[in-house]
């Protein structure tokens, strides 16, 4: 994947935090997928569709782009403008009540969103696993705390995140949260290498929220946090 291919799509209008396309790039490079045009994949918490665009172009698969905060109509207009409406279908649905067929998806992606709704043990097994086909792969990239600070997110990050600090968990803790199931072959978690790049691109976007984050970057964000990569492979 060449990130420069998507430069014109990466802007304050499409970004909702550190560059999701850069995070997705690392996920795809670390955990290559063998998808094709007959496969359907889910982009869960797709935001304004930047990751959906990249997934469609890089994998060739059909993409269901689901988000709770951004309407399907808004994303449909964006996908039409980008020339991908025949390959990406926008959906507006709650992750707790996904309206899909069982074992529908050959892969699931979730970038900078999974921590908002899935931080409780049992969520993956109950709310996500039923919709994944046998042999499916799940790739997740989310903000968290470094392993060295596991269990201290509220203590360390409340000044920046307020009541949302509890959502930041360490890679080791996320492996426990995903849990075990007879359908799961492996769960790998790691501190992602794209941290500095993704944050720098967010600050360069000029987004109003980026200015607020920048005030905390050197003092709280960089010392204690990371992006957590998660790769789940099913049997």
27-49 pLDDT, tens digit per residue, is: 999 999 999 999 999 999 999 99
Write out the two tokens for 68.
């709770």
Question: Cα separation of 44 and 13, whole Å?
Answer: 19
Label residue 88 by pLDDT band (50, 70, 90). Answer: very high
- The residue ranges of every structural domain in the chain are 3-234
Residue among 164, 165, 61 nearest 109 (CA): 61
Q: Which CATH superfamily is domain 3-234 in?
A: Vaccinia Virus protein VP39 (3.40.50.150)
pLDDT digits (tens, 9 = 90+) for 211-234: 999 999 999 999 999 999 999 999
Residue among 117, 122, 142 nearest 18 (CA): 142
- Tell me what pLDDT residue 82 has: 97
pLDDT digits (tens, 9 = 90+) for 128-183: 999 999 999 999 999 999 999 999 999 999 999 999 999 999 999 999 999 999 99
Under 8 Å between Cβ of 220 and 120? no
Please, what sign has the CA dihedral across residues 233, 40, 118, 126? negative
Write out the two tokens for 178.
């995903």
- Tell me what pLDDT residue 179 has: 96
Under 8 Å between Cβ of 229 and 27? yes
Residue among 138, 128, 169 nearest 231 (CA): 138
Question: Cα separation of 130 and 82, whole Å?
Answer: 32
Q: Which run of H or E residues covers position 50?
A: helix 50-59
Rounded mean pLDDT, 62-82: 97
Greatest Cα pair distance, the chain, in angstroms, is: 47
Q: Which run of H or E residues covers position 36?
A: none
């Amino acid at each position: 994947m060449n990130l420069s291919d998507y430069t014109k799509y990466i802007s304050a209008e499409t970004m909702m935090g550190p560059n999701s396309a850069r995070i997705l790039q690392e996920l795809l490079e670390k955990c290559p997928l063998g998808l094709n045009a007959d496969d359907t994949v889910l982009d869960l918490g797709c935001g304004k569709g930047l990751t959906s665009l990249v997934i469609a172009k890089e994998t060739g698969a059909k993409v269901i782009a689901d988000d709770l905060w951004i309407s399907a109509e808004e994303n449909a207009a964006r996908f039409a403008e980008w020339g991908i409406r025949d390959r990406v279908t926008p959906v507006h649905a709650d992750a707790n009540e996904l309206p899909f067929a069982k074992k529908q998806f050959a892969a699931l992606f979730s970038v900078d969103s999974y921590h908002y709704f899935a931080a409780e043990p049992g969520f993956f097994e109950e709310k996500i696993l039923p919709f994944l086909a046998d042999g499916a792969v799940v790739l997740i990239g989310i903000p968290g705390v470094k392993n060295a600070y596991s269990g201290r997110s509220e203590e360390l990050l409340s000044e920046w995140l307020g009541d949302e600090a509890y959502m930041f968990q360490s890679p080791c803790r996320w492996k426990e949260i995903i849990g075990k199931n007879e359908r799961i072959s492996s769960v790998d978690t790691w501190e992602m290498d794209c941290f500095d790049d993704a944050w720098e691109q967010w600050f360069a976007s000029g987004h109003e929220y980026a200015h607020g984050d920048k005030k905390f970057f050197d003092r709280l964000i960089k010392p204690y946090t990371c992006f957590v990569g998660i790769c789940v492979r099913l049997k």
